[in-house]
């Protein structure tokens, strides 16, 4: 299948510069750890961990640990990675970086195919824009860079179809569009962007052109409905988004457009969480961005000619791409901030193209201005008239361009800009080293970012720095009393400090805010278990599993059944946990003890043996298998296991009077 020749990179030096400099700029991200919800997306997703998880990823859209929308292609990439490399963060980050690099190079090829001026600089601006660090360095945002890959393939395939009229390229474009949507729903506005691309390339519009785009719009509409449902109902966005009336939403949309334009043109400061602004319909300042947008639209349409047409197309495609996050739809992340860097990844294309062309044309005009000065000097030295003929001027310009030192001015300017942006990307990537560095950098410039306080509190909980954790979690709840995650995390602190009543109160508050939070039910079940209220504990564990099946939650209920001597139920739950996480050593061991109690000795031996294959010196498994072997009439093997366990410090069986004499005989 022949690709457009313009997509091939014949000039190796600019290509090599973009590749090397992009990889160097993002190098700090390769050694980064998990941030925010990365663990939920990657480590705690049972389908990604399970070898049998691939089919449910595609066929069970609600089996998503309550963190994923329906984006099976992105989840499949994580599944393939986990099954191949396990949890290997440098590889995970490297894949994100390489996808972003491919996107930039693909953009360069598309712009060359469309004969855009400044294609190389535009690709460099895309690759090295500090706003894009969030999409690349944040593991969970692989959906952004992966969807962009298919997004750009749709554009080049569709444009090539229009040039060649070969139906196979239309079908390929349609397939790539579906792939983009199954990677991330943000690609939904691509059909509108295609319309603007056709306008830019001066393609005549015919009735059949509309018909050809209808399948794209129908697919986009269906996906938009699915995405809105997931955001509003599955993720609780309706209860977490700011409550704006219709007028306030329109004014907020103008503020959002202004924000992204500002950050794309002048990327400083770049934050993970930006301060919230207030929309006050009684203040004139709230209307200024909206009035500016309307003025720009009127001017570009009123004088729809050579100079205003590009403005209309550029800003029209920008608004189209950014439309899903303008605030007209409820989005879960809006509880944290009305804007976010990763939301601007798709919309940045049009503005970056404008910047790339603008910088290239300006530096070229500056170069020609110098040439004209040189021509004037050269002409006066030769005795020519100051007024050269137009054709003579052009020939002189071309002649001097071939020999003048100023021929490199556009390249020098482009190189300088990209080097500056590269250092900004390096610094920004460095803040993503871990959750603490990210949130400390955020709070330094935005101390009211309650999400930063909440996740720092969660981090300090995991590090058992409970005083720091309580400080940040209390701050979170002061800033956002509806943060159910902060209640859950603070409840975890109280549970660790054995303040069970306070923990119970916090988990109950969390469930009042979000009654379908599986983690809150599971944790409250742990509290009830600690308080010996076993029926309530089992009820909460069961509710947690109904909402989101998870190996840890099955194991919690199984261990309680084990304590209550309900061994058959315990075995059933341990089995479910092992289906979701087949490498769970603790689940195999505890199921082995349950089998032992039910006198299913061969099954117990099999489970203990699986444990010892992974951890050969685990004394509890050695003792358990020893008992099972003794009971099936293999005392020599039993004694061998007990002796190994005794070497690890567990000598209860080896020194037991009933077994000691027999074992000494075998010894």
pLDDT, residue 2, reads 53
At residue 452 the predicted structure's pLDDT band, cuts being 50, 70 and 90, is very high
Please check the confidence at residue 152 and state whether its pLDDT lies above 90.
Answer: yes
Residue owning tokens 């785009």 = 213
Angle at the Cα of 488 from the Cα atoms of 482 and 494, rounded to 5 degrees: 125
Angle at the Cα of 61 from the Cα atoms of 34 and 273, rounded to 5 degrees: 35
Cβ-contact 523, 505 below 8 angstroms: no
Mean predicted confidence (pLDDT) in 615-619: 92
Question: What whole-number distance in Å separates Cα of residue 243 and Cα of residue 248?
Answer: 9
Question: What whole-number distance in Å separates Cα of residue 560 and Cα of residue 463?
Answer: 26
Closest CA to 264 of 365, 187, 339: 339
Give the tens place of pLDDT for each residue, 45-99. Answer: 888 988 999 999 999 877 655 557 889 999 999 999 999 999 899 999 999 999 9
412-416 — which CB contacts under 8 Å span 24+ positions? Answer: 413/359, 413/363, 414/118, 414/120, 414/121, 414/124, 414/359, 414/360, 414/363, 415/17
**Region label for 165, one of left (φ > 0), alpha (ψ between -120 and 50) or beta (otherwise):** left
Cβ-contact 119, 133 below 8 angstroms: no
For 114, 156, 570, 607, 618, the CA distances from 592, given in Å and listed in that order, are 66, 58, 11, 5, 14
Q: What are phi and psi of 648, to 5 degrees?
A: -90, 0
pLDDT, residue 201, reads 81
Question: What whole-number distance in Å separates Cα of residue 627 and Cα of residue 601?
Answer: 9
Dihedral sign of CA atoms 388, 394, 396, 397 in order: positive
**Region label for 279, one of left (φ > 0), alpha (ψ between -120 and 50) or beta (otherwise):** beta
Give the tens place of pLDDT for each residue, 105-135. Answer: 999 999 988 888 889 999 999 999 999 999 9
Mean predicted confidence (pLDDT) in 438-450: 95
How many alpha carbons lie under 13 Å from residue 465 in its C-beta half-sphere? 12
pLDDT, residue 297, reads 83
Please check the confidence at residue 236 and state whether its pLDDT lies above 60.
Answer: no
Higher-confidence residue of 244 and 167: namely: 167
Give the tens place of pLDDT for each residue, 371-381. Answer: 666 555 555 55
Give the tens place of pLDDT for each residue, 385-423. Answer: 445 444 554 555 555 445 444 456 677 888 999 999 999
pLDDT, residue 405, reads 42
Cβ-contact 166, 1 below 8 angstroms: no
How long a stretch of residues is the chain?
667
Angle at the Cα of 124 from the Cα atoms of 319 and 440, rounded to 5 degrees: 75
At residue 360 the predicted structure's pLDDT band, cuts being 50, 70 and 90, is confident
Tokens of 437: 């560095």
pLDDT, residue 400, reads 47
Give the tens place of pLDDT for each residue, 185-226. Answer: 999 999 999 999 888 887 778 888 889 999 999 999 999 888
Question: What whole-number distance in Å separates Cα of residue 196 and Cα of residue 312?
Answer: 9
Residue owning tokens 């609780």 = 236
Task: State the DSSP H helix or E strand holding residue 113, giving kind and residue range, or none if neither.
Answer: helix 89-113
Tokens of 629: 């072997």
Q: Which of 31-40, 365-374, 436-445 has the lowest mean pLDDT?
A: 365-374
Question: What whole-number distance in Å separates Cα of residue 612 and Cα of residue 211?
Answer: 64
Question: Model-level pTM greater than 0.85?
Answer: no
Q: Report, in angstroms and rounded to the nearest whole number, the Rg of the chain calculated over CA atoms.
A: 31
Question: What whole-number distance in Å separates Cα of residue 460 and Cα of residue 468?
Answer: 6
3-state secondary structure (DSSP) of residue 531: coil
Q: Which of 305-319, 513-527, 576-590 has the lowest mean pLDDT?
A: 305-319
Closest CA to 108 of 93, 98, 118, 96: 118
CA 12 to chain centre: 32
Omega prior to 269 cis, within 30 of 0: yes
Mean predicted confidence (pLDDT) in 649-664: 81
Give the tens place of pLDDT for each residue, 487-540. Answer: 999 999 999 999 999 999 999 999 999 999 999 999 999 999 999 999 999 999
pLDDT, residue 568, reads 97
pLDDT, residue 412, reads 81
User: Residues near 105 by Cβ (< 8 Å), separated by ≥ 6?
Assistant: 9, 15, 18, 19, 123
pLDDT, residue 50, reads 86
What is the DSSP secondary structure assignment for residue 36, as one 8-state letter? T
Question: What whole-number distance in Å separates Cα of residue 304 and Cα of residue 316?
Answer: 13
What is the DSSP secondary structure assignment for residue 2, as one 8-state letter? P
Question: What whole-number distance in Å separates Cα of residue 43 and Cα of residue 351?
Answer: 36
pLDDT over 70 for what percent of the chain?
A: 88
Mean predicted lDDT score pLDDT of the chain: 88
Task: State the DSSP H helix or E strand holding residue 635, giving kind and residue range, or none if neither.
Answer: helix 635-647
pLDDT, residue 76, reads 95
Residue owning tokens 């400080």 = 471
Give the tens place of pLDDT for each residue, 543-553. Answer: 999 998 999 99
Higher-confidence residue of 208 and 568: namely: 568
Task: State the DSSP H helix or E strand holding residue 89, giving kind and residue range, or none if neither.
Answer: helix 89-113
What is the DSSP secondary structure assignment for residue 335, as one 8-state letter? G
Please check the confidence at residue 643 and state whether its pLDDT lies above 60.
Answer: yes
Task: Tell the burial category of 141 from Cβ atoms under 10 Å away from its Cβ (0-12, 13-18, 19+).
Answer: buried
Question: What whole-number distance in Å separates Cα of residue 30 and Cα of residue 95?
Answer: 10
pLDDT, residue 233, reads 60
Task: State the DSSP H helix or E strand holding residue 261, giving kind and residue range, or none if neither.
Answer: helix 246-265
Please check the confidence at residue 239 and state whether its pLDDT lies above 50.
Answer: no
Please give the span between the terminal C-alpha atoms of the chain, in angstroms, as a whole number: 73
């Amino acid at each position: 299948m022949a690709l457009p020749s313009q997509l091939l990179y014949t000039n190796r030096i600019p290509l090599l510069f973009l590749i090397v400099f992009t990889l160097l700029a993002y190098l700090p991200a390769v050694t980064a750890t998990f941030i925010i919800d990365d663990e939920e997306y990657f480590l705690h997703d049972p389908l990604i961990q399970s070898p049998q998880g691939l089919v449910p990823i595609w066929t069970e859209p609600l089996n998503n640990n309550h963190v994923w929308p329906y984006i099976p292609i992105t989840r499949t990439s994580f599944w393939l990675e986990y099954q191949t490399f396990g949890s290997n963060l440098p590889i995970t980050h490297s894949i994100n970086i390489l996808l972003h690099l491919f996107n930039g190079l693909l953009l360069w090829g598309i712009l060359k195919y469309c004969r855009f001026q400044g294609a190389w600089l535009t690709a460099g601006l895309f690759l090295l824009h500090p706003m894009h660090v969030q999409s690349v360095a944040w593991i969970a945002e692989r959906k952004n860079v992966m969807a962009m890959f298919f997004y750009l393939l749709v554009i080049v395939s569709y444009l090539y179809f229009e040039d060649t009229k070969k139906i196979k390229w239309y079908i390929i474009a349609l397939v790539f569009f579906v792939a983009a949507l199954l990677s991330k729903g943000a690609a939904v506005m691509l059909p509108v962007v295609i319309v603007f691309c056709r306008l830019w390339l001066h393609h005549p519009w015919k009735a059949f052109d509309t018909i050809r785009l209808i399948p794209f719009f129908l697919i986009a509409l269906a996906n938009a409905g699915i995405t809105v449902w997931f955001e509003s109902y599955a993720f609780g966005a309706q209860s977490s988004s700011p409550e704006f009336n219709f007028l306030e939403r329109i004014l907020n949309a103008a503020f959002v457009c202004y924000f992204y334009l500002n950050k794309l043109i002048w990327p400083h400061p770049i934050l993970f969480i930006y301060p919230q602004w207030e929309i006050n319909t009684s203040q004139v300042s709230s209307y200024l961005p909206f009035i500016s947008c309307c003025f720009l639209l009127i001017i570009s349409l009123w004088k729809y000619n050579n100079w205003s047409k590009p403005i209309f197309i550029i800003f029209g495609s920008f608004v189209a791409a950014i439309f899903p996050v303008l605030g007209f739809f409820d989005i879960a992340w809006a509880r944290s901030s009305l804007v976010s860097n990763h939301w601007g990844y798709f919309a940045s294309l049009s503005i970056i193209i404008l910047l790339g062309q603008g910088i290239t044309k300006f530096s070229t005009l500056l170069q020609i201005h110098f040439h004209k000065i040189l021509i004037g000097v050269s002409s006066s030295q030769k005795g020519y008239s100051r007024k050269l003929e137009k054709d003579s001027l052009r020939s002189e310009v071309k002649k001097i361009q071939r020999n003048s030192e100023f021929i490199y001015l556009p390249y020098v300017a482009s190189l300088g800009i990209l080097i500056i942006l590269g250092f900004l990307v390096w610094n920004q990537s460095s803040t993503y080293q871990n959750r603490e560095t990210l949130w400390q950098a955020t709070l330094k410039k935005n101390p009211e970012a309650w999400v930063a306080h909440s996740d720092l509190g969660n981090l300090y909980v995991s590090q058992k720095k409970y005083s720091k954790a309580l400080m940040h979690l209390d701050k979170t709840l002061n800033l956002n009393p509806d943060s159910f995650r902060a209640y859950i995390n603070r409840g975890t602190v109280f549970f660790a400090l054995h303040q069970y009543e306070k923990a119970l109160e916090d988990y109950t508050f969390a469930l009042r805010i979000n009654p379908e939070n599986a983690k809150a039910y599971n944790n409250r079940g742990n509290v009830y278990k600690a308080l010996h209220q076993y029926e309530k504990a089992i009820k909460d564990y069961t509710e947690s599993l109904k909402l989101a099946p998870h190996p840890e939650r099955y194991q919690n209920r199984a261990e309680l059944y084990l304590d209550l001597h309900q061994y058959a139920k315990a075995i059933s739950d341990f089995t479910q946990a092992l289906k979701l996480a087949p490498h769970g050593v603790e689940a195999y061991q505890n199921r082995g003890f349950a089998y032992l109690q039910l006198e299913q000795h061969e099954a117990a031996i099999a489970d203990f043996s699986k444990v010892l294959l992974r951890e050969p010196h685990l004394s509890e498994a050695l003792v358990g298998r020893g008992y099972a072997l003794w009971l099936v009439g293999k005392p020599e093997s039993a004694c061998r296991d007990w002796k190994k366990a005794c070497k690890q410090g567990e000598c209860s069986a080896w020194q037991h009077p009933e077994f000691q004499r027999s074992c000494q005989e075998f010894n």
